[in-house]
Chain A
Amino acid sequence: MDLQFRPENAHTVTYGGGKILVAAKSMALFAMDPVAEAVLRYAQAHPRCSVDQVTQALAAQFSVQEVAETIDEFVRLHIFLPAGVASAGARLPSLDVERFPLTSLVLNITNKCNLHCTYCYEPEEAKYGPAAVQMDLETAQASIDFLWQRAGKSREVNVIFFGGEALLNFPLMRQIVTYAQAKARASGKIVHFSLTTNGTLLTDEIIDFFQAHRFGLTISIDGPKDLHDKRRSFLTARGERKGSYEMILPRIRRLLARYTARPVVARVTLTKGTIEIVRIYEHLTDLGFFEVGFAPVTAASGAAYGLEPVDLRHVLDGFRELGARYVARALRNQYTGFSNLSALLTDIHQGTNKLFPCGAGLGLLGVDGNGDVYLCHRFPGIEEHKYGNVAEGLQYDRLNAFINGAHIGQKPVCQTCWIRGLCGGGCYHEAYTQFGDGALPNLHYCAFLREWTEYGIGVYMELQQKNPGFIQTWVLRGRGDVPRELT
C-alpha cells in the first residue's frame, strides 16, 4: 500500500525521561517502542513511501510483521494515510448553534468603573460619563429568563457578573441572585454565581453575601504594589493617577480571612514591565489567594503596555521557573495554585481536542446593560458581534455564520499545527483586537503556545512517572472530575 505521512498529526516531544508521540488528530499521547520510533523517523525522511519500502528499509532491525503492525497503528492515528486520500481534516460540520444549550451567561450589570486601568479594553465613553449603562431589574430578569429558556436540559447554569466594576451595581446583583435562585428551585436546575471585581468596593456586607451564595470570586490584581499600581490606578478629578493597591490591600485581606466558601483566584494581567512571574505569584499567594492566573494583556499593536516578543520570552521563562516549583511541590503532594499550568496539565491529561477556541457563542454568551447579547463579555460595544437582545431573541443565522466560520477547520494556517486541538485558534476578542477579525487565528501567540505545551507535556510526564495520581487528585479541574472545593 502506498502511504502519505501526515506530519501535522505526529509531533514528538523530548523530555527528561524520553520521547512522547503526540497524535495530534486526537490529542492522544503515546510512548513509542523502538519499532515505532524507527518507522516514524523513516516517515519523516520519506513522507511518500509504501509499506514495502518501510519494511525493507527497516528489515535489518525489525521483522516485517512488527513494521506492518506499527504502520497499521499509525494509520489508525492518521499519522499515515493511504496515498491519495484527502487530508483527514477536510470535512467541516455545519453546526446549528440554536441546538446548543446555553449554560453560562455573563451579565454586564454596569459599564461604570471607579478605576482607570490603562489597559482596559472597554472604551472610555462606555465606562464614564452619561453613556455608561446600568442594567435595570427588568433587563436582568429578562436575561435570566433567557438563560433558562436556552439552557435546555442542562442541570447546572452559571450566572457571571461583570462590568465595568460590577459591585457598583451591587443592589441589582442581590436582586438577580434572588430571582435566579427562585427559578433554580422551581426548575430543578442548580445555579452557580461568579464575579470578577477590582476589589475596591468590598465590604463585610458584600463578603457575607458572597459567602451565603457561594460565589466564585476572581480579584483583578497585578502583583505587588509597584507592579499593580503601574496600570491599575484611580484618576483623580485633577487628572492625576493614583495607584489602587493601598486601597484594595486591606479589603483583600478581609475577604480572604472572611470568605471560605470557595477558593479565591487572583487574575493577573501581564503588561510591559509587570512580568515578574515568580515574584507576582509569591506575593499573591502570601496574601492568601489560593490560585493565580496569568493573562497576557490584550492590546492593539503599538500600545505602550503591550507585550512584544522579547516580553513573551520573559513570560515563558517565568512560567518555567514557577513550573519548576510546581513540580517540586507536587512531588511532595502539595498543590501549587498556578492556574495556567493546572489548566494545561488538565488539557494534556484529557487529550482536549477542541474545534473552537472556547464556548463563546455556543455555551456562553455576554449580555450588556441594555439586554443586548454579544459573543462574550468582551464584545459589548462591538456591533459586529451583537447578535440580538434577551427580550427579542437572537439572530441565529448571523451567529451560525460566525461560529461555523470560526471552526478550526476554517483556519488554514492552523491545519499544520500540532497543538490546534488545544488552542483552537485562540480568543476571538484577541484576534479581533489584533487583526480586526475574530475568526482569525492568533498568530502572535503560536510560538509561545507551542513551547508552553511542550513544556507542559514534560511536566505531565514527570508527574505521572514520579507521583502518579497527583494530577488526578489535585489538578483536574472544573470539568467534572474534581471536587468543587478545589476548583
Chain B
Amino acid sequence: MKHLQAVNQKAEVVETTQAAESQTSTEDVVGLAQPLGCTTIYNPGWEANAWGGVNAMCAPMEADLLGCANVCWWPAQVPDSLQNYPEWAKACSGLNQEDWRNLEVVFPKVR
C-alpha cells in the first residue's frame, strides 16, 4: 500500500493479500450470461439419460478426460494431441460412449 505502511503482522498479511488481488480484476464477479461448452451438450457419464436411465453413469475418469479434450475443450490435463501425442485419441471415433476405451497411454518425453 502506498499511503499506509504496515506496522503489525496482520497489516503485512492484508498488504500481501491486496497486492495479490490487484493482479487480477477487482471488479465484482459477474455471472456467465450464456451457456458454454459441455453445458450445451448431452455428455453421458455425468447424467441420467432423458428417460432417467443410469446405465451411462459411473464411467471412469478416462471418459471424462476424453469428453473434455475432444467434445468440449476445457483445461483438463490431457496430453497435447496437437504436437506431441497426436495418437492419444486417434482411435476414438467420437461417436460412441465407449470411446474412452481406445485412449492410448502416453509417457512424458525425456529430452
Seen from chain A, the residues whose Cβ lies within 8 Å of a Cβ on chain B are 20-21, 23, 26-33, 35-36, 66, 69-70, 73, 76-77, 348-351, 353, 460-461, 464
Contact between chains at B3 and A32 (CB < 8 Å): yes
Tell whether, in the assembled complex, residue B18 and residue A33 are in contact, meaning their CB atoms are under 8 Å apart.
Answer: no
Cβ-based interface call for B38 (8 A): no
* Closest 4 pairs between A and B when the two form their complex, measured CB to CB: A351-B10, A28-B11, A30-B4, A29-B7
Query: Given A20, A66, A73, A353, which contacts B1 in the complex, CB threshold below 8 Å?
Result: A73
Residue pair B10, A36 in contact (C-beta under 8 Å): no
CA distance A350 to B5 in the complex (A): 16
Docked Cα-Cα span, A70 to B6, in Å, equals 14
From B6, which residue of chain A is reached at the shortest CB distance?
Answer: A30
Contact, CB under 8 Å: A28 / B14: yes
> Given A33, A35, A76, A351, which contacts B8 in the complex, CB threshold below 8 Å?
A351
In the complex, what distance in Å separates the CA atom of A43 from the CA atom of B53? 64
Q: CB of B111 within 8 A of chain A?
A: no
Determine if A351 and B4 form an interchain contact, defined as CB atoms under 8 angstroms apart.
no
**Which among B4, B6, B13 has the highest number of chain A CB atoms within 10 Å?**
B4
B9 part of interface (Cβ distance < 8 Å):
yes
Q: Which residues of A contact B9 (CB under 8 A)?
A: 349-351
Taking a contact as CB atoms under 8 Å apart, the answer to whether B3 and A28 are in contact is no
Answer yes or no: B109 CB below 8 A from chain A CBs. no
In the complex, given contacts A23-B11, A28-B8, what are 5 additional A-B residue pairs having Cβ atoms less than 8 angstroms apart? A27-B8, A28-B11, A29-B7, A30-B5, A66-B3
Assess A76 versus B3: contact at CB under 8 Å? Given A348-B8, A353-B10: no
Q: Are B10 and A28 neighbours in the complex by a CB distance under 8 Å?
A: yes
A139 CA / B9 CA spacing, docked (Å): 43
Partner of B3, one of A23, A69, A351, A461: A69
Listed by A's residue number, 16 A-B pairs whose Cβ atoms lie within 8 Å are A21-B4, A26-B14, A27-B8, A28-B10, A29-B7, A29-B10, A32-B3, A33-B2, A69-B2, A73-B1, A73-B4, A76-B18, A77-B14, A348-B8, A350-B9, A464-B7
In the complex, A162→B49 CA distance in Å? 63
Distance, CA A32 to CA B14, complexed state (A)? 15
| Residues from chain B with Cβ under 8 Å of A77 in the complex | 4, 14
The residue of chain A having its C-beta at the shortest distance from the C-beta of B15 within the complex is A28
Looking across the interface, which residue of chain B has its beta carbon closest to that of A476? B9
Task: Report which B residues bind A (CB closer than 8 A).
Answer: 1-11, 13-14, 18
Alpha-carbon distance between A30 and B18 when the two chains are bound, in angstroms: 14
Which partner residue on chain B sits nearest A35 by CB separation? B3
Out of A29, A69, A460, name the residue touching B11 (CB < 8 Å). Answer: A29
Residues of B within 8 A of A66 (CB): 3
The complex places the Cα of A29 from the Cα of B9 at a distance, in Å, of 8
The residues of A that contact B11 with a CB separation of less than 8 Å are 23, 28-30, 351
A70 touches B18 (CB 8 A): no
Chain B residues with CB under 8 A of A33: 2-5
Shortest CB distance A455–B (Å): 16
Known contacts being A23-B14, A28-B14, A351-B13, is A73 close to B2, with CB within 8 Å?
yes
Residues of B within 8 A of A348 (CB): 8
In the assembly, what is the distance between CA of A72 and CA of B54, in Å?
53
CB nearest to A62 among chain B residues = B3
Residue numbers in A under 8 Å from B1 (CB-CB): 30, 73
Q: How far is the CA of A406 from the CA of B71 in the complex (A)?
A: 52
A69 to B1 alpha-carbon distance, docked (Å)? 9
Report the minimum CB–CB distance from B107 to chain A (whole Å). 37
> Once the chains bind, are A36 and B3 in contact (CB under 8 Å)?
yes
Q: Quote the shortest CB–CB distance from A372 to chain B (angstroms).
A: 39
Residue numbers in A under 8 Å from B14 (CB-CB) = 23, 26, 28, 76-77
Max chain B CB contacts within 10 Å: which of A28, A69, A73? Answer: A28
Residues of A within 8 A of B7 (CB): 20, 29-31, 461, 464
B12 closest partner in A (C-beta): A28
Tell me, in angstroms, the Cα distance from A230 to B18 when the chains sit together. Answer: 55
CB nearest to B2 among chain A residues: A69
Minimum distance in angstroms from B23 CB to a CB of chain A: 14
Q: Chain B's nearest CB lies how many Å from the CB of A71?
A: 10
Interface centre among B1, B5, B8, B10 (most CB of A within 10 A): B8
A245 to chain B, nearest CB (A): 41
A108 to chain B, nearest CB (A): 36
Nearest Cβ distance between residue A351 and chain B, in whole angstroms? 2
| B3, A350: Cβ atoms closer than 8 Å | no
Give the Cβ gap from A224 to chain B, nearest Cβ, in Å. 37
Assembled-state Cα–Cα distance A350/B11 (Å):
9
Chain B residues within an 8 Å CB radius of A35: 3
Q: How far is the CA of A421 from the CA of B3 in the complex (A)?
A: 24
Of A21, A27, A76, A350, chain B has the most CB atoms within 10 Å of the CB of A76
Give the residue among B3, B6, B10 with the most A Cβ atoms within 10 A.
B3
Most buried by A among B7, B11, B14: B7
Q: How far is the CB of B77 from chain A (nearest CB, A)?
A: 29
Instruction: Say whether A28 contacts B5, CB under 8 Å.
Output: no
Q: A23-B11, A23-B14 are in contact. Are A28 and B2 (CB under 8 A)?
A: no
Return the chain A residue nearest B7 by Cβ: A29
Q: Please give me the residue from chain B that is nearest to A77 by CB atom.
A: B14
Question: When chains A and B are docked, how far (Å) is the Cα of A351 from the Cα of B11?
Answer: 8
Given contacts A26-B14, A28-B14, contact A350 B4 (CB under 8 A): no
CB pair A28–B6 under 8 Å, yes or no, is yes
What is the bound-complex CA distance between A28 and B14, given in angstroms? 7
Closest Cβ neighbor of B11 among chain A residues: A28
- Nearest Cβ on chain B to A419's Cβ, whole angstroms: 14
A350-B2 contact, Cβ under 8 Å, with A23-B14, A76-B18 = no
